[in-house]
Structure 1
Amino acid sequence: MSSLPLITSIYTDGACTGNPGPGGWGAVLYFEDRSVYEIGGAEAETTNNRMEMQAAIAALRLFHSSGQSQPITLYTDSQYLIKGITEWLKGWKKKGWKTASGKKVLNQDLWEVLDELNHSLVKWHHVRGHTGNVGNERCDAIARSFANGDQINLKKTVEFSFLDNSDTVIEVNQTIQSETPKSKATEDTSNMEELEERLQEDSRLGQGNRIEGLRHLIESLRIADEIAEKGYLISSSELADLMNVNASAVTSRGNHWSWRNWVVSRVRREGNQILWQLERAEG
C-alpha cells in the first residue's frame, strides 16, 4: 500500500428523481495536502434516503481501506442519515430493528452496513444543503449527474491503487457482451426470456419501493404529528427534510402556510436559523 496523505473530511450526498425512481450518490474525500478523491454511483430504482446512505457507505469503505488512524469529519445534509446513525440506531437494534411505534425500520439492510462501518474516528456533522458549501454542492452535482445518467468527470488527484473495488464505484453505463457466440434463434429466445425476467423483477422492485415509500411517508407524518403535539420548534432544514423538499422550498412559502394536515408558522429567528411551528389544522 502506498503512503497516503491524511483524509481530513468527507462529504456525501444522494439524489433521486421520483423518489422512488432513478437515483445517484456522490462522495468527496478531502486530504491534508489538498488532494481530492471523488466517487459516485447510480441505481435504477431507489429512494433519496437510500442514496444518502449509499454515499456514506462508499465513503466509509474508502476510509477503512486507507488504514488511517486519525479522526475525520463526515458531512451530510441528510437529517435522516445523521439522526439515524447518531441517535436512533442504538434504540432500533435494542428493539430488534423496530421503531418506537413498533414498526419495522426502513432500509434496515443499509443501516446494518453503516453500523458495521461506523467508527469512533468518524465525527458525523450536518450541513445545510444548497447554501454554497463547496463540498456539499460538489456531492450534490455528482449525485444528480448519476441519477440523471449524465456524464461527469470525477476528480482523483490522489492515488488509491488498492481501492479497485467494483462494489465501491458503480458505473452508469455498462456494456454487456455474450461470453460465447449463439445462433440467432437461440439468442432471440434467450433475450426474450431475459427481458421477461427483468420485467418481472422490475415490477416486484417497483411495487416494493412504492410500499417502502408509503411506509416512509407514514413515518414522516407520525413524526410531524408528534412535533405538533409536543409543541417542538424545528429549523428550516429540518422541516425540509420532514417534507422531503429543498430548504429553499420552505423559506420561499412565507410566514404562514398549510402542509398536509398541519398549519406551518414561522416563529422566530435564532442566529442564522429560522424556527417553525406545526399545528394541527382544524376540520
Structure 2
Amino acid sequence: MTSPLIQKIYTDGACSGNPGAGGWGVVVYFENGTVQELGGGSPETTNNRMEMQAAIAALKFFKDSGQSKVIALYTDSEYVKNGITKWLPGWKKKGWKTSAGKPVLNQDLWEQLDELDSPKVEWRYVRGHSGDPGNERCDVIARAFSQGKMPQLKMPDLQVSLTLIPNAAEVVMSETPSSIDAIEVVPREVRVEQLRNLVDMLHMADEIASKGYLISSSELADLMDINANAVTSRGDHWVWRNWVVSRVRREGNQILWQLERVD
C-alpha cells in the first residue's frame, strides 16, 4: 500500500518553569485528509529546547517517509524559524559562536536540525494562540506532556507505536483517536516532580490572590505557562483553574491583572 503524502506539519513546545518540565507536540496532515500526532516530554528542559525537539521530530518523520514532494513546516517559535533559515550559516562559520563571540545555546539540537533540514521543507511562522487549529492542537499535546500526562494522539491506522528518543528521556507516541487506553510511559518519579512543580505554581497563584497583588501580562503568562499574547486575547474577565482573572488597569505599556479565588 502506498503511504499517503504529507501536506504540512505543525510543531510546538511547552515548558513549566522554563527551565522545568517540558513537552512538545507535532501534528502531521496528509493530503488524503488523515492526521498523525506525535509528542514527548523531558523532566528538565527549556521552552526553546522543546520547540526545537518538536521540529527535530517533524523533520525525522518527514525524512523517514521518503517523500520527495515539498511540505510546509509550521512553528510558532521565531527562535527556531530564524535559527534554521537565517542564523545557522553564520554560527557554523564562526565555529558555533554568536556575533558577540559567545557559544551558541542549544548547539546539540541545532546540529540535529541542520543535519535533518531539507530543501523540500518550507519553514513557515505561525503566530501562537491565534486560532490556527494545527498550532492549537500542538500546544495541547505539548502542554499535556509537560504536565506528565499522556494525551490520546491520532494516527491514520490502528497501530500504536512508541519510539524512545536517545539521550533525551522523551517518548514519542502515536495512537488512534478511538477507545485505546493511553499507555503509561512517563516514569513515576518524573510525574511526581511535575506534580510538585504544579502545586508550587498553584500556591503562588493563591498567594498572589490572597495578598491582592497586581501582576503584568508577561508575569501572568509566566505563572500560567502560556504565551503573553494568549493572556491579552482572552478579554478583561475570565476564569483560570480556581481563579477569576480580571484586567485592572494599564500602567505605561503594561496591563495589570488581579486574581480572585472563586471556590
Contact 2:24–2:51 at 8 Å: present in 1 too? yes
* Larger gyration radius, structure 1 or structure 2: 1
TM-score by length of 2: 0.66
TM-superposed deviation, 1:173? 4.0
Q: Which residue pairs with 1:166 in the alignment? A: 164
Instruction: Give the distance between the partners of 1:175 and 1:250, measured in 2 at CA.
Output: 33
Cα distance between partner residues in 2 of 1:247 and 1:32? 31
Displacement of 1:258 in angstroms is 6.0
Describe the superposition over 1:206-263 as per-residue Cα deviations: whole angstroms up to 9, x where unpaired.
xxxxxxxxxxxxxxxxxxxxxxxxxxxxxxxxxx9xxx9432446788694269xxxx
Given that 1:7 and 1:30 are in contact with CA atoms closer than 8 Å, whether structure 2 keeps it comes out as: yes
| Match in the other structure for 2:240 | none
Quote the residue 1:71 is aligned against.
70
Higher helix share: 1
Equivalent residue for 1:51?
Answer: 50
Contact 1:36 1:158 in 2 (8 A): no
Structure 2 residue 256 is the aligned partner of structure 1 residue 257: no
The match for 1:8 is 7
Q: Which has the larger strand fraction? A: 2
Structure 1 unaligned segments of length 5 or more: list them. 177-194, 196-201, 203-239, 260-283
In the alignment of these two chains, the number of paired residues is: 194
Equivalent pairs: percent with the same residue?
54
2:21 touches 2:43 (CA, 8 Å); kept in 1? yes
Distance 1:164 1:250 in 2: 38
Q: TM-score scaled to structure 1, two decimals?
A: 0.62
Is there any run of 5+ residues in structure 2 with no aligned partner, and where?
174-182, 194-220, 236-248, 256-263
The whole-number CA distance in structure 2 between the counterparts of 1:105 and 1:51 is 16
Give the corresponding residue for 1:141. 140
CA contact (8 A) 1:41 1:143 kept: yes
Equivalent-residue separation in structure 1 for 2:251 and 2:84 (angstroms): 32
The answer to whether the aligner puts 1:128 opposite 2:127 as a matched pair is yes
Say if 2:21 and 2:146, in contact at 8 Å, map to a contact too. yes
**Helix, strand or coil at the partner of 1:145:** helix
Structure 1: how far apart are the matches of 2:111 and 2:232?
32
CA RMSD of aligned residues (A): 3.1
Alpha-carbon distance between aligned partners in 1 of 2:251 and 2:125, rounded to the nearest angstrom: 25
Q: How far, CA to CA, are the matches of 2:148 and 2:110 in structure 1?
A: 26
SS of corresponding position for 2:155: coil
Q: Which residue of 2 aligns with 1:84?
A: 83
